[in-house]
Structure 1
């Protein structure tokens, strides 16, 4: 399906996140090891926070490994929060408006997975989006629909609860259409200050997702690895696949769970959808 990565920490060059790791997201766009598809070449996107009031987004329908502009930009952008995504379409068009991350105000959103039966349920799902938000939807993906449902259900004020209500609604609509397992997802969303992540599927067999070990512990395990000394102490990664093979560096996000990353706020909790009404 897709692969994504999220970074939170001290400002760092985007190229150090996207290109430098031995199994970087750019490498995963060609050689995914854990994804449903080996190649993720149906476009890509990067979202990051800088000096503006809203995050910047760069998207293209070109394969990530073949975009010279991405490499140019990545060598000049320094950011404390970045979301990046390489896409393998699950049936919707390969067009810029369907590439992740999706943006609303200060919020970014990426997703790996699918809302099964989306062709049949799409009308009902979109009808539930807050009218004031509906006009902002530009593409045709299930991911953007899920994002705007989460916004409708209160993402800005209550990310955990809003995503639980959005997923519960999607499952309720899917079941009404005879879809056995409507939701398959790993999701990351951020407002630039905190990062929230989710791993859930209706059949409890979710796509892969990992978070990085706390940096001081990792430095103690691997004092010989120079790159660990270059990273800030607040460094946190959440990734579809580990970015390098380093023992003790990566921890699987538990099935049916959600987490938050930010200054003084790293925590994982169980995740269950909240059914409508």
Structure 2
């Protein structure tokens, strides 16, 4: 399906994670080890926050990530304290820029790996639940963008953990009404530029892979002789679909049905349980 990564910490060049690691996102676009598909060539996108505040920047393309010179130029010259990067494999919707991730609303970004099963059958009901004020922002045809707008409808900007649980619960409710088995598969990340929230969940309990980086302080203590490890910022955090290298201790697999939060200080993890909305919107 897709592969993605999110970074929070000291300001670094985007290429430090997207291009340079042994198993970078560019490498994963051709040689994914843990994805549903080996090749992820249906477009890519990056979203980043600068230190001046304001809206996050976006760059999207329908070209394969491994074959875009502009991506390499931008990633080498843009540095940011928080950024998202996503490579796409379509699950049936068109390969077009409006379907590439991340999606943006104000200061919020959102990206997704997974699918809403039987999306053409449930799409109408999901669209009708989106807040009417958000409908003009719907640009593409993918299920991922609909998930984002549903999360916003359920209050993402004010109570993100609750909103994501309500979004997942509503999608499952609609799927069940249409007789869809295992309606939702998602590994999602969203951010307002202050924190990153990531969820690993699927209706069948067999979710797509997701990893959090090990705390930099602990990793430095374990590997005092590895230059790359010693160069990490103490506040460097990464969330990835699959590890960027072979150093096993650098990555922690996120358990099934979990939600994690990255912000200054230790990462936080909680059990993720979808919630059915009391009323349909």
TM-score by length of 1: 0.99
CA deviation after TM superposition for structure 1 residue 231, in Å: 2.0
CA deviation after TM superposition for structure 1 residue 230, in Å: 2.1
1:222-244 per-position Cα deviation (integer Å, ceiling 9, x unaligned): 11221122221100011000000
For 1:247 and 1:209, how far apart are their aligned partners in 2?
Answer: 14
State whether structure 2 residue 52 is matched by structure 1 residue 26: no
Match of 1:39 in 2: 39
**Contact 1:13 1:77 (C-alpha < 8 Å) held by counterparts:** yes
Which structure 2 residues correspond to residues 183-222 of structure 1 after superposition, within 5 A? 183-222=184-223
CA deviation after TM superposition for structure 1 residue 111, in Å: 0.4
**Contact 2:103 2:111 (C-alpha < 8 Å) held by counterparts:** yes
For 1:59 and 1:159, how far apart are their aligned partners in 2?
Answer: 25
Match of 1:61 in 2: 62
Match of 1:84 in 2: 85
Match of 1:268 in 2: 269
Structure 2 residue matching 1:135: 3-state secondary structure: helix
- Could you tell me which runs of 5 or more consecutive residues in structure 2 were left unpaired when the two chains were aligned: none
Match of 2:104 in 1: 103
Which structure 2 residues correspond to residues 212-251 of structure 1 after superposition, within 5 A? 212-251=213-252
**Contact 1:23 1:242 (C-alpha < 8 Å) held by counterparts:** yes
Which structure 2 residues correspond to residues 154-173 of structure 1 after superposition, within 5 A? 154-173=155-174
For 2:266 and 2:16, how far apart are their aligned partners in 1?
Answer: 25
For 1:265 and 1:249, how far apart are their aligned partners in 2?
Answer: 15
**Contact 1:172 1:276 (C-alpha < 8 Å) held by counterparts:** no
For 2:76 and 2:185, how far apart are their aligned partners in 1?
Answer: 34
Deviates more, 1:102-111 or 1:227-236: 227-236
**Contact 2:235 2:265 (C-alpha < 8 Å) held by counterparts:** no
1:174-205 per-position Cα deviation (integer Å, ceiling 9, x unaligned): 00000010000000000111000000000011
For 1:52 and 1:63, how far apart are their aligned partners in 2?
Answer: 30
Report the number of matched residues. Answer: 277
Structure 1 residue matching 2:190: 3-state secondary structure: strand
Which structure 2 residues correspond to residues 109-188 of structure 1 after superposition, within 5 A? 109-188=110-189
1:112-149 per-position Cα deviation (integer Å, ceiling 9, x unaligned): 00000110000110111001111101000000000000
**Contact 1:11 1:80 (C-alpha < 8 Å) held by counterparts:** yes
For 1:244 and 1:213, how far apart are their aligned partners in 2?
Answer: 13
For 1:276 and 1:106, how far apart are their aligned partners in 2?
Answer: 25
Aligned-pair Cα RMSD in Å: 0.8
Q: Which consecutive segments of 4 or more residues in structure 1 shift more than 3 A? A: none
TM-score by length of 2: 0.97
CA deviation after TM superposition for structure 1 residue 52, in Å: 4.6
For 1:270 and 1:140, how far apart are their aligned partners in 2?
Answer: 31
1:84-137 per-position Cα deviation (integer Å, ceiling 9, x unaligned): 000000000000000000000000001000000110000110111001111101
CA deviation after TM superposition for structure 1 residue 265, in Å: 5.6
For 1:151 and 1:74, how far apart are their aligned partners in 2?
Answer: 29
**Contact 1:85 1:110 (C-alpha < 8 Å) held by counterparts:** yes
**Contact 1:10 1:234 (C-alpha < 8 Å) held by counterparts:** yes
